[in-house]
Amino acid sequence: MTFPLPAPMRRALDLAAEAASAGEVPVGAVVTKGDTVIAEARNAMRGSVDPTAHAEMVAIRAAAAALGQPRLDGCTLWVTLEPCAMCAAAIAISRIGDLRFAAEDPKGGGVVHGPRIFAQPTCHHRPDVLGGIGEAEAAEQLRRFFAVRR
């Protein structure tokens, strides 16, 4: 049985496709509060010449600015790839309540792989995490993107 993707993940996947078209690694992110989209972003490292311009980081910054506060309590981050350690730490610091991601990242992930940031005793906030939402499409976007470059 196939279920339709939640609208924020659908939008994140569309943003990831935009990133790929711009030559960026195809990752998209959307921050919601309830049913309201607060911010959205795609990877922008190359275009902005900023190594921290991961989709999650850009979306978190935009959400904090939109809400006028550094804490994103009650917000959900929807992202097409398991966040890296940097992004996972930012998720914890910003107090995002829920993390929903599509594809796991065994090489660079920081949530269910690698350093597992939320499992560390020094992590003071742990969002509710659910992966695998839209995983097949996100993984295919990444495969296509890197196939051309390898």
> Is 75 marked within a binding site?
no
> Is 123 marked within a binding site?
no
CA dist list (Å): 112 to 12, 36, 54, 100, 118: 20, 27, 18, 12, 9
Establish whether 56 is a catalytic residue.
Answer: yes
Q: Which helix (H) or strand (E) holds 130?
A: strand 128-130
> Is 84 marked within a binding site?
yes
* Whether the Cβ atoms of residue 82 and residue 110 lie closer than 8 Å to each other: yes
Q: Which helix (H) or strand (E) holds 99?
A: strand 98-103
Q: Which helix (H) or strand (E) holds 75?
A: strand 75-81
List strands edge to edge, sheet with 36-42: 36-42, 28-33, 75-81, 98-103, 128-130
Handedness of CA 51, 54, 57, 61 (dihedral sign): positive
Q: From the candidates 40, 56, 82, 137, give the one annotated as an active-site residue.
A: 56
Catalytic residue set? 56
- Name the binding residues: 54, 84, 87
Binding residues for Zn(2+): 54, 84, 87
